[in-house]
Structure formats: C-alpha cells, structure tokens
C-alpha cells in the first residue's frame, strides 16, 4: 500500500469487490515497475516498441476503430439537480446512473489486473494541486497517466492520511462496446466512471474529466478557476517575463501558440517564449492578490496530423523520445511512425492506423493515421518548456486571451473595456465551421471560453463565477483580449500569416498590460493603432493591417442578434451583467 488514508483504502476495497480483478497492483511510479508493465504490454501486442535509435523509449498503440475520439453524446454530468448541470451538458440522476452502470462493472475485471494509479494534478506539494486515484484494467492507461500526470506514492503527499479530497476515477475498457460506452461525472461525489472505451480522452481521467469538468465545479465552490487555456511566458531581453493564458476552440492553433517560436525581428533582440501549458490552466488568487496559474498536467496529449517542422517544430521535437503514439501509421522500413502532414514522403511499406498493410505512395485514398491520432509526450521533452513549469506557486497571469476562427467579423485583436466586458467577450466566443468539418460553411458555433464540452456545471453559473472572480481580484485582475488569426480575403485566403508571427500581436498585448501602448476605442473594445503592431520582415503593409483591424458595424449587429439567441439558452441563470453588456454593445453599434 502506498497510503494509510482510510478514505482511499476503503474506496479501493469497495471497487475491488465490485470489479473482481484477479489481482490488484498499486502504481508507485518507479522505473522498474513501469518498465515491467511496458514489457508486458509489448509481449501481448497491446503496444509495439519503435526504433530505439530514432525514437528512444517510444511506443505505438492502436485503439479499436470504434473508439477513436471523445464521445460527447455518452458524456454525462450527474448532479443531484438537473438544473445544476445546465443546458449544455447531458444530465442523468446520479442514483439512476449508478444503478445503470454498477451491473456493468460487476465482475468486469475477472481474469484481469486492476491497476491503482495515485496521481497529482499539478506539481507535488503545490497549494494549487489536487490528488486523484484512477483504477483501471488497461496498461495503456497506466503508461499514459504516467506521462500526463505526476504518478506514484508522492502524489499522496498533498492528501495526507485523513483528507477525503481526492477524485475517485474508475475505468474499465470492458468489451469496448460503443453501445454501452459511458463517461460519467458525479461532481458532488468527486467521482468519475468510464466504461467500454480505451481512447485517451475518455480514459485518462486526469485530463478533461478531472482537470476541467470536476475541477471547474471544485473551483466554483472553492474560489478558483479551471480553464481550457494554454499558458505561455514572453521573456524580454532584460529577463522580465510576462505570462499570458489563452482559450481557443479546437482547430484554432492553441498548441502552436503555446509553443510559439519568436520571429526573427524579436529573436535577434533576445526575446524568448516559454511554454507552461498547452491545454489546461488552474488559476487561483495568490498572496499578493494577483491571479496565479499552474498547468495541472505533466505532458502533452497532442493531435498528430498536421504537426511538422514548419507548423510546430517544438511539438515535433517533444515527441522524439519516451512518447506513446496512438492510431498513427507504422513505417515498417525503419520502425518509425508517420501521419498526414508530417512530411511529403509517406512510407511505401507501412501499416495504417487500423493495422492493415498500407502503401502511402499508392493507397492515397486511405489515411495512414486517423485524423484524431495522438501523441502523449512528457512536458520535460519540450525545447521551450518554462523554467517555472514545476513552480508550486504557479506564474502570475497578466493577460487572458480569447479567440476563434472568424472570416470577417472579429478583428485581429481588441481589448475588453474592463473585466466584466471581458467576461462578455469570452462568453460569446465563436468559430465558423469550415467545409471540412460539416459540409456547411460559415455556421457560427458558440463555445464560451472554449469550455462548452468541459464545464462541469450550469454555464450560467460559470459566467457568474467569472464575474465574482473579477470582483475578488479588483484592479489586479488580468486584462482580457480577443484575437482572430483567421480573417480571410474575398478569395478565402488567410490574410494574417499566423504561427510565430502571432507574437507581433502578443507584444502589443504585453505592452498594454504594462501601460506602454496606446489604443483606439471602438464599439467592441480597444484596438491597437496600426503602427503599434510591428510589421518588420512581413509581407503586409499598413493598409492591409488597417483592414485586419476594421470593425464592420453591420456584421457586428448580426453578431449581437446571434448572441441574443445564444444567451436565451441559459434562461434566468444568465447573469444580469451579461444582459447589460449585450445592451451596451448594441447601443455603441447604434442599433
């Protein structure tokens, strides 16, 4: 046993009695134990070792083809009252859900081993960290959780011998039956149950399940925030670092921004960008009244397709050792991996993601990697990982940035008038669908704070919590901005170059936080003077930039109408303040 905590021991005993595994193994996080488990997974064919010279310590895994992504339709928030889950979550009465799932878990681990994984979300000993225990019958889960979290006996340090404040995660891959697949959260019980899946997003219970859905509920009750945000630091030549957190819906370049490489104009002056996190931020007021953030994770669970030396060299370098690749193509010529967008040389002798032989040169109508194929890589591998990554106090956040994919409406960047207006901006965040996604182009999908699938309680209450946090922080609250890298010209081409050049916009944001840059007031917020965005070395002139900053009043009137429609979902739970903010926007637009 790794702990004397009776709450942990009693719960594990109960779950063992329910699942009836042949044996129980506690994961202590030691290299010897993890190596033995890796050897076992390789011997059964669950994992394959890759080229030790080119990809040392790396493994390949394939999930069942019916099990390749998060299943939102099978993801539930089981709060005791339906209204506490809100209109954006699937709800079921906890008693009903326990009654439904308990028979599925009864004896599900007969003939299998139950692994008990104690883990810390956040640095060991951090006042912002939280403890979880995941029970699973999957070695794949054990090895991924070891990368994504801080696993082992030390995880119990924060918990101690008497606390009951740990998240109870129960997972069984069972028969990987999609008809009986459930990912269920019981926020009031600090509990997550996942069954009939082996895919990371559904079974690495420290990730979205704990770090966002359960933690957002904890944060509301305990006075902190769990957000779907990257955290990066921009270090100036004088050594001073400014930290920014940012929320974007999927396919908006979040990981690329988190691992941004400064363009030459800044690199030659000595600027550096540091990655603290690429996906999740836990934020809590510090002793000095400012908002401090940690990345609760210890690794990256990234989408492989499209990751290459041009789009995100730091991410690709991060995957070069001790990484688990899931559902990518296996290059048999040199025992490495490949995915669409890695390079222009698909392997001729390969196995595609479902395990069938594949020639990437001739079988061009077949994808080598699943579009949602993944890499699980240790954060320590990242060339730009922040020196503050393990700081138990976290890093002070000066700016929060929201963004989406808008062809015409949102300008390149604007700043909210104040925190309350910033909450309004975040609550109305949206992206437009592309043809690849749905067949319908330009449909506006609202994703408040990029938390739509991940908020563990009523989103109206979530907005209210944001407003309360602003009151608590007062004039020490981070400044709030909105960016849009995706404005297009009339032919549909992106006007802004994006990638590393997004730093040019971040530099104006940093200057605003320090009171070193002017702004122009518009109906939607404060915008930069065009000459305050550094265009040196870019093939963009000042007039093009002015176009990128243009606020089209008619489009914004349409936007306001869309916001009314969206807000109606939340009924009387929508904070009055947000109604005032919408009315004020319409007034400024001259409606």
Residue 256 annotated in ligand binding: yes
373 is in an annotated binding site: yes
Matching residue, tokens 């309004």: 424
Q: How many CB atoms lie within 10 A of CB 364?
A: 9
C-alpha 205/C-alpha 89 separation (Å) is 18
What are the phi and psi torsion angles at 99 (to 5°)? -65, -35
Query: At a CB cut-off of 8 Å and minimum separation 6, what does 518 contact?
Result: 528, 529, 532
Edge-first strand listing for the sheet containing 350-351: 336-338, 329-331, 350-351, 357-358
Residue 185 · residue 60 · CB < 8 Å: no
Do 292 and 479 touch, CB atoms closer than 8 A? no
What number of other Cβ atoms are within 10 A of residue 44's Cβ? 9
Measured CA to CA, the distance from residue 356 to residue 370 in angstroms comes to: 13
Question: Which is nearest to 37 in space by CA: 122, 151, 133?
Answer: 151
446 annotated ligand binder: no
Helix H or strand E encompassing 254: helix 254-258
Answer yes or no: are the C-beta atoms of 510 and 479 closer than 8 Å.
no
Contacts of 58 (CB under 8 A, 6+ apart): 49, 50, 51, 319, 320, 321, 322, 323, 324, 325, 337
Instruction: Give the tokens for residue 68.
Output: 């390749």
- Residue 209 labelled as part of a binding site: no
199 is in an annotated binding site: yes
Query: What does the longest C-alpha to C-alpha distance in the chain come to?
Result: 70
Sign of CA dihedral 415, 421, 425, 427: positive
Indicate which residues carry an active-site annotation. 252
208 is in an annotated binding site: yes
Helices (H), 306-351: 313-318
Q: What is the DSSP letter of 206?
A: I
Whether the CB-CB separation of 99 and 131 falls below 8 Å is answered with: no
How far from each other are the two terminal CA atoms of the chain, in whole angstroms? 66
Q: Provide φ and ψ at 242, rounded to 5°.
A: -110, 130
Distance of alpha carbon 151 from alpha carbon 148, whole angstroms: 9
Length of the chain, please? 591
- Beta-ladder partners of 183: 75, 194
Determine if residue 372 is labeled as part of a ligand binding site: yes
Backbone angles phi, psi at 536, to 5 degrees: -60, 130
Residue 162: how many other CB atoms lie within 10 Å? 9
Q: Is 251 one of the annotated binding-site residues?
A: yes
Q: Distance between CA atoms of 589 and 591, rounded to whole angstroms?
A: 6
From CA 591, how far away is CA 581, in angstroms rounded? 14
* 250 is an annotated ligand-binding site residue: yes
Do 523 and 591 form a contact (C-beta atoms < 8 A)?
Answer: no
- Is 253 marked within a binding site? yes
CA 434 distance to own-chain centroid:
21
Q: Is 252 annotated as a binding residue?
A: yes
In whole angstroms, give the CA distance from residue 212 to residue 217.
Answer: 8
Residues annotated in the binding site for GTP, as ranges? 251-256, 374, 405, 499-502
Residues annotated in the binding site for Mn(2+), as ranges? 208, 228, 279
Residues annotated in the binding site for substrate, as ranges? 70, 199-201, 250, 372-374
Residues annotated in the binding site, as ranges? 70, 199-201, 208, 228, 250-256, 279, 372-374, 405, 499-502
């Amino acid at each position: 046993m790794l702990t004397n905590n009776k709450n942990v021991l009693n719960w594990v005993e109960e779950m063992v009695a329910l699942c009836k595994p042949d044996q129980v193994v506690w994961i202590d996080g030691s290299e010897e134990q993890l190596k033995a488990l890796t050897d076992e997974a390789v011997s059964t064919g669950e994992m394959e070792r890759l080229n030790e010279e080119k990809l040392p310590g790396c493994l390949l895994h394939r999930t069942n083809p019916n099990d390749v992504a998060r299943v939102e339709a099978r993801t539930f928030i089981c709060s005791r009252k339906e209204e506490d889950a809100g209109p954006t979550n699937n709800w079921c009465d906890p008693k009903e859900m326990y009654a439904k799932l308990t028979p599925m878990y009864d004896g599900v681990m007969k003939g299998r081993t139950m692994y008990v994984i104690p883990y810390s979300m956040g640095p060991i000993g951090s006042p912002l960290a939280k403890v979880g225990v995941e029970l699973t019958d999957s070695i794949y889960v054990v090895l991924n959780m070891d990368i994504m979290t801080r696993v082992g006996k030390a995880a119990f340090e924060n918990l101690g011998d008497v606390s009951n404040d740990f998240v109870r995660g129960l997972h069984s891959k069972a028969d990987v039956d999609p008809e009986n697949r459930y990912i269920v959260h019981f926020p009031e019980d600090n509990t997550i149950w996942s069954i009939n899946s082996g895919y990371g997003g559904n079974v690495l219970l420290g990730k979205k399940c704990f770090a966002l859905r359960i933690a957002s509920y904890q944060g509301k009750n305990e006075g902190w925030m769990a957000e779907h945000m990257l955290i990066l630091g921009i270090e100036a030549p004088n050594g001073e670092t400014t930290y920014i957190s940012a929320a974007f819906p999927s396919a908006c370049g979040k990981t690329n921004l988190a691992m941004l490489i400064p363009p030459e104009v800044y690199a030659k002056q000595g600027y550096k960008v540091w990655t603290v996190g690429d996906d999740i931020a836990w934020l809590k007021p510090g002793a000095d009244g400012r908002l401090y953030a940690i990345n609760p994770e210890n690794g990256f669970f990234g989408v492989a397709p499209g990751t290459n030396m041009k789009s995100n060299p730091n991410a690709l370098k991060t995957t070069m050792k001790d990484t688990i690749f899931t559902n990518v193509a296996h290059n048999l010529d040199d025992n490495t991996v490949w995915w669409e967008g890695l390079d222009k040389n698909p392997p001729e002798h390969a196995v595609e993601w479902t395990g069938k032989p594949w020639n990437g040169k001739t079988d061009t109508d077949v994808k080598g990697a699943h579009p949602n194929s993944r890499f699980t890589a240790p954060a320590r591998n990242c060339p730009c990982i922040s020196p503050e990554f393990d700081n138990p106090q976290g890093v002070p956040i000066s700016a929060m940035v929201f963004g989406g994919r808008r062809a015409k409406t949102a300008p390149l960047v604007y700043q909210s008038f104040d925190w309350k207006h910033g909450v309004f901006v975040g609550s109305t965040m949206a992206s437009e669908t592309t043809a690849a996604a749905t067949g319908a182009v330009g449909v506006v999908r609202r994703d408040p704070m990029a938390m739509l699938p991940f908020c563990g309680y009523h989103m109206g209450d979530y907005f209210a919590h944001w407003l309360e946090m602003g009151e608590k922080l007062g004039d020490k609250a981070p400044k709030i901005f909105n960016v849009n890298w995706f404005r297009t010209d009339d032919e549909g081409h992106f006007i802004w170059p994006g990638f590393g050049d997004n730093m040019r916009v971040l530099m104006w944001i940093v200057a605003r936080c320090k009171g070193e840059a002017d702004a122009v007031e518009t109906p939607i917020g404060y915008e930069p003077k065009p000459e305050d965005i550094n265009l040196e070395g870019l093939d963009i002139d000042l007039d093009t930039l002015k176009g990128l900053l243009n606020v089209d009043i008619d489009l914004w009137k349409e936007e306001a109408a869309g916001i009314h429609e969206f807000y109606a979902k939340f009924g009387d739970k929508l904070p009055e303040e947000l109604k005032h903010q919408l009315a004020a926007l319409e007034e400024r637009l001259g409606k």
